[in-house]
Amino acid sequence: MLTPIAEGKEEFAIIHTLDDLGGRFIIVSDVHGCFDQLIALLQKVNFCNTRIRAMPNLLYPNGLDDDRVYDREDVCVCVGDLVNKGPKSFDVVRFFRDIGAYVVLGNHDIKFMEVVNAIRASVSSQRVKLPDKVRNSSMFALAKQCPDDVLEYLQQLPHILRLTKFKILVVHAGLDPSVSLSKQRTSAVTRMRNIMERGQYIKLKNEFSQIHLQQIPESRNAPSTNDYEGGTVKKNISFLEEPLSLSGSYATLENHQFGKSWACVWGEHASSGLNPQTYGEKINRTSDAVAIDSDLNYQGCDKKCTKRGIEVQEDVEFLPEYKGWTVVFGHDAKRKLQCYPLTFGLDTGCVYGGSLTALILPGCTLLSVPGYKAEGK
């Protein structure tokens, strides 16, 4: 049974199911307003569908090249974070809409809509004062300029896509493997990076509470690294984040500091007992199921269960309904490209100057283009 979580948020994620669709699936991650890089990536994969054939200039300014194959019905999928940080957020949103892409919401998209709605509520009532956290938001200037059509498009997007053709789940941040899809919390699926066994989390929380009580009131030290040794919290640490969700088995966490990569746990258990040929092997191995484009930052690929964060031994609860299902996600640029059995983390830091990466199905081919370079950097 789920228990109340941080910030009192109780809503469950919205799920859209895509049944058998033709053509390739091109899945991209965390565009963050980097419109030019998105165009370059889809041009590189020769993306085409009915909408592109009707309006070639959306993607191909010089028109369709007869030497290429353009009779496909490709499907573009984005794992969220369309807006913020990059230079052309509204162009990105409208482009995905115009090509008929399937998109899930990311945490930046959700926060952006919250700021837009707060601004509009203040303007319409003329009596509602904007909270300081809205006025001071890094998204405030962008949100003030948000066109109606951009907001309307974002408001109708789900949090999870279920691609039945490939047994793939698309989500921005992650999933709790012990909770059914219909009971996944919105805050978790859009923000989580790590998970920790519930009992271990509660134990740590109690230790942190005791430490906090023992501290001098004026001492408000921020958390630091290396905060957990031999099962005991160091005495100079006074912070443990509230979980995004707390199920009977796991606490889902946004920061890397505690717990273990949720994707690593998923990969270990979703593929357990399956023939590797049924899902493709890890990306650092030679495999017909996984191909790497020559210009992808292969050195940035997280080739094993990430050691970032505090790992714990635990009795894993993994729902049988997830067996054999792959999850494609973003949100975790610090870990770069993540490729485990049955999990692909595609956030390769485009807006930070890394790369923009696509996963192409069928075949699990990875392609990338260079990321956004801000002026003066």
Q: Using 50, 70 and 90 to split pLDDT, how confident is the model at 125?
A: low
Q: Which long-range contacts (CB under 8 A, 24 or more apart) does 271-279 make?
A: 271/324, 271/341, 271/342, 272/318, 272/323, 274/323, 274/324, 276/341, 278/324, 279/324, 279/326, 279/341, 279/342
pLDDT at 6 over 80: no
pLDDT at 109 over 50: yes
The torsion of the CA quartet 148, 154, 156, 158, rounded to 10 degrees, works out to 180
So what's the pLDDT on residue 373?
A: 82
DSSP 217: T
Are 256 and 334 within 8 A, CB to CB?
A: yes
Closest by alpha carbon to 104, among 75, 83, 79? 79
DSSP 50: H
117 versus 277: the higher-pLDDT residue is 117
Are 192 and 174 within 8 A, CB to CB?
A: yes
So what's the pLDDT on residue 334?
A: 93
CA distance 114 to 120: 10
Percentage, residues of the chain above pLDDT 90: 51
Q: Using 50, 70 and 90 to split pLDDT, how confident is the model at 22?
A: confident
What average pLDDT does the segment 268-274 reach? 71
Are 343 and 360 within 8 A, CB to CB?
A: no
CA distance 375 to 331: 24
**H or E segment and range at residue 169:** strand 168-171
So what's the pLDDT on residue 282?
A: 36
Are 373 and 310 within 8 A, CB to CB?
A: no
**Domains of the chain, residue spans:** 6-315+335-370
Q: Model pTM?
A: 0.82
Superfamily (CATH) of domain 6-315+335-370: Metallo-dependent phosphatases (3.60.21.10)
DSSP 324: T
So what's the pLDDT on residue 340?
A: 83
pLDDT at 116 over 90: yes
Q: Using 50, 70 and 90 to split pLDDT, how confident is the model at 161?
A: very high
232 versus 58: the higher-pLDDT residue is 58
Closest by alpha carbon to 370, among 352, 355, 348? 355
- List the single range of 15-24, 148-157, 323-332, 360-369 with lowest mean pLDDT: 15-24
pLDDT at 97 over 90: yes
- List the single range of 36-40, 68-72, 312-316 with lowest mean pLDDT: 312-316
- List the single range of 124-133, 195-204, 282-291, 354-363 with lowest mean pLDDT: 282-291
So what's the pLDDT on residue 23?
A: 84
